[in-house]
Amino acid sequence: MSAPVSGPQVIAELLAVLQARKSADPSSSYVASLYAKGVDTILKKIGEEAAETIIAAKGTDRAALIHELADLWFHTLVLMAAYDLPLDDLTAELAGRMGRSGLDEKASRKPA
Say what the pTM is.
Answer: 0.86
pLDDT at position 1: 58
pLDDT at position 27: 97
Closest by CA to 76, choosing from 53, 54, 111, 47, is 47
Tens of each residue's pLDDT in the chain, 112 residues: 566 777 889 999 999 999 999 999 999 999 999 999 999 999 999 999 999 999 999 999 999 999 999 999 999 999 999 999 999 999 999 999 888 887 877 788 777 6
CATH topology of domain 8-85: Helix Hairpins (1.10.287)
- Contact at 8 Å (CB) between 49 and 39? no
pLDDT at position 103: 83
